[in-house]
Amino acid sequence: MAKKRVAIVGMGFGGLSAAKGLAGRGLEVVMVDRHNYHLFQPLLYQVATAGLEQESIAYPVRALARRWQGTRFRLGEVSGVDFASKRLLLEDGELSYDYLIVAAGSRTNFFGIESIERYAFDLKRLSQAEELRNQILLLFERASRETDPARRAALLTFVVVGGGPTGMEFAGALRELIVHVLSRDYPEVKTSETRIVLVEAASSLLTAMPAELRDYALHKLRAMGVEVRLDTRVTGADAEHVFLHGGEVLETHTLFWSAGVAAAELADRLGVVQAGGGRIKVLPDLSIEGHPEVFVVGDMACLMQDGAPLPMMAPVATQQGRHAARTILGCERGKEPQPFRYRDKGSMATIGRSAAVAVSHGFKFRGYLAWLVWLLLHLYYLIGFRNRLLVLMNWAYYYFSHERQVRLITGEVRKDSPL
């Protein structure tokens, strides 16, 4: 008798945890992704700021398939799903399934502002992190030769939009890169000439965290030299300007956008009920209406808990992936599906060297202790001993020397860049 097949779309945190939970349990598990690696997205900003190599935060999925019994990997772009015939539609073929877990993740939400989508940098893929690093280094190369003060100021101005963890972590890491590393690489450029502007539409940073941690993060960033603009909204951009609500214009060549995320484009092609941000409405057990064999987990899923949709975060995706795996195994044993409930273990964000904020089980941490916990947890959740070792060595080297090794310009200038 042929084994029942579980197809898993997306090898992010949700898809990976589902595959791990199903491995070796008597099912055929087919992992499908457009890339052949799992990407540890929380550290992408460190690739963009020359702190880590690209390869140290990615791990090949086929290496996991070798270790996980009953699993295999298929590289491919999913174009849709035929729910009636239980077929996953790929650009280069089809894949039948008995159970389907959709965990294709999210994309950056530009809120329909075409100019921002065209000119802003974002961080969702490895290639984007490399592109942003190239941009930063190229700007310093150009500024070191520029004699016009206005042009020089624009080259050395960096606008970061979004006061959540990603925006704050990137702004802090970029400031440290400039102060401790690029200031020595480019003696022609004074640190005082550089400007990092963090723009947030809300009245505080890290809105999901307690007030005292929000205040600490704000104070720390400003003390580092980051210009924080609260209650400020970006309305548009071009290659050399960022336009703010109220008419103010920032002259810059670098706009980094981290102001929101939406469900991956695949959600729009499934023909199912969607909620805000394109997320798919799921039943309490994470299945979709009318198709109990199809589960949606992670950033693509919209599930209400305690009166609000669950956040689009890695811990939610990981727990949902595990739940979907348990539900499928239970269905094979004739058990009724159980509702999913997210167990919030806390959240954290790093601001810079020896500075972070964290909240867990009602306890609040800040400063060195929170930073140390942040380091240890990120090392723990990285996949692969080599990756953990490389990241640890990079962090230790930077901590003691204030040096970052990955200052490589490895690509071409963006076509829409004036450089």
Side-chain-side CA neighbours of 122 within 13 Å: the count stands at: 17
- Residue 302 and residue 312 in contact, taking contact as beta carbons nearer than 8 Å: no
Q: What's the confidence (pLDDT) of residue 417? A: 54
CA dist 309 → 142, 306, 316 (Å): 45, 8, 11
CA 218, 221, 223: angle at the middle one, nearest 5?
A: 105
Q: What angle do CA 199, 181, 135 make, to 5 degrees?
A: 55
Estimate the crossing angle of helix 165-177 against helix 211-224, to 10 degrees.
20
CB 343 within 8 A of CB 306: no
Is there a contact between 262 and 274 (Cβ–Cβ < 8 Å)?
no
CA geometry: angle 7, 12, 18, nearest 5 deg: 45
pLDDT for residue 103: 98
Torsion angle of the four alpha carbons 388, 394, 398, 403, in this order, in degrees rounded to the nearest 10: -160
pLDDT at residue number 362: 84
Question: pTM for the whole thing?
Answer: 0.93
What integer pLDDT is reported at residue 303 of this predicted model? 97
pLDDT values of the chain reduced to their tens digit, one per residue, 419 residues: 679 999 999 999 999 999 999 999 999 999 999 999 999 999 999 999 999 999 999 999 999 999 999 999 999 999 999 999 999 999 999 999 999 999 999 999 999 999 999 999 999 999 999 999 999 999 999 999 999 999 999 999 999 999 999 999 999 999 999 999 999 999 999 999 999 999 999 999 999 899 999 999 999 999 999 999 999 999 999 999 999 999 999 999 999 999 999 999 999 999 999 999 999 999 999 999 999 999 999 999 999 999 999 999 999 999 999 999 999 999 999 999 999 999 999 999 999 999 999 998 889 999 999 999 999 999 999 999 999 999 999 999 888 888 887 888 987 655 555 45
Strands (E), 116-267: 157-161, 195-199, 227-229, 234-238, 241-244, 249-251, 254-257, 261-263
DSSP state of 121: B
- The CA angle 365-369-350, to the nearest 5 degrees, is 75
Catalytic residues: 169
User: Cα–Cα distance between 73 and 395 in angstroms, integer?
Assistant: 32
**All structural domains of the chain:** 5-34+76-108+261-332 (3.50.50.60), 114-258 (3.50.50.100)
